[in-house]
Chains A and B, each alone.
Chain A
Amino acid sequence: DTEVTQTPKHLVMGMTNKKSLKCEQHMGHRAMYWYKQKAKKPPELMFVYSYEKLSINESVPSRFSPECPNSSLLNLHLHALQPEDSALYLCASSQPGRGRQYFGPGTRLLVL
């Protein structure tokens, strides 16, 4: 099984809302990633968790808050987002180091 699942598939939220994106994998991977992708652009790395510890934060605004409750789950908590945060949010996982990254289908987020 090489599947990464993400919920929800679509999300519409107002600028004052709080919501969470969820990502799950059962491949035994110990590195998990959040990416943001705008239309016609490549994914941009946001956060990396390695062995459930935050190892990379690409200077992401604090309105995005990641959480890795266990080795299979990754959450992204959203609060007070701006319309420019509307994008496709992708989760990925791999073995730490040189492993192949597997991506989920993404959550399409629209901030009104």
Chain B
Amino acid sequence: KQEVTQIPAALSVPEGENLVLNCSFTDSAIYNLQWFRQDPGKGLTSLLLIQSSQREQTSGRLNASLDKSSGRSTLYIAASQPGDSATYLCAGLIQGAQKLVFGQGTRLTINP
């Protein structure tokens, strides 16, 4: 059974810092890995999608990497801003199914 773990569960940093959020998965049989952002009481916003054949994807100040062999993905946020405060979720799409398996999320707070 695929399990996805996110570390840390919560993170608080001052504005301007570069930071890394971690995601690990137990089964390398994933089609892709998606990173989402969720603001309190809102839906999920898709940030980046990395296909299993890719190593990384970039969008603005965000960079996500995927290492299937080690079962890890990281989300790098450069020059963090208070508006980046949210919960960040990673989710792997299981091969042979249409199911996303989510991690528990990292609650990020950027302090002005």
Q: Which residues from chain A sit less than 8 Å from chain B, CB to CB?
A: 4, 6, 31, 41-43, 45, 48, 50, 55-56, 88, 90, 92, 96-98, 100-106, 108
B99's nearest neighbour on chain A, judged by CB, is: A45
Instruction: Judge whether A108 and B100 touch: CB under 8 Å.
Output: no
Q: Which residue of A lies closest to B102 (CB)?
A: A42
- A104, B31: Cα distance in complex, Å: 23
Q: 12 more A-B contacts (CB under 8 A) besides A6-B43, A102-B46?
A: A31-B98, A43-B44, A45-B99, A48-B99, A88-B41, A92-B44, A97-B98, A100-B46, A103-B36, A103-B44, A105-B43, A106-B42
Instruction: State the majority secondary structure of interface residues on B.
Output: strand
Nearest residue (CB) in B for A58 is: B99
Shortest C-beta distance, A7 to chain B (Å), equals 13
Q: Is the CB of A106 within 8 A of B43?
A: yes
CB distance from A31 to the nearest CB of B (A): 6
Q: Does B21 contact A (CB under 8 A)?
A: no
Q: Bound complex: CA of A103 vs CA of B47, how far in Å?
A: 12
Q: Which residues on A sit within 8 Å (CB–CB) of B80?
A: none
Q: Give every chain B residue within 8 A of A42 (Cβ-Cβ).
A: 89, 91, 102-105
B41 adjacent to A98 (CB under 8 Å)? no
Instruction: Specify which chain B residues have a CB less than 8 angstroms from the CB of A98 in the assembled complex.
Output: 31-32, 51, 93
CB distance from B46 to the nearest CB of A (A): 6
Q: Which residue of B lies closest to A100 (CB)?
A: B49
CA distance A92 to B43 in the complex (A): 10
> Cβ of A41: which chain B residues have Cβ within 8 Å of it?
104
Does B45 belong to the interface (CB within 8 Å)? yes
> In the complex the two chains form, is A96's CB within 8 Å of B98's CB?
yes
Indicate if B34 sits at the interface (CB-CB under 8 A). yes
Partner of A105, one of B34, B42, B89, B93: B42
Name the one of A48, A50, A100, A104 contacting B34, with C-beta atoms under 8 angstroms: A100
Chain A residues near B100: list those with CB within 8 A: 45, 101
Closest Cβ of chain B to A55, distance in Å, is 7
Q: Shortest distance in angstroms between A1's beta carbon and chain B's nearest beta carbon?
A: 14
Q: How far is the CA of A42 from the CA of B36 in the complex (A)?
A: 11
Q: How far is the CA of A50 from the CA of B98 in the complex (A)?
A: 9
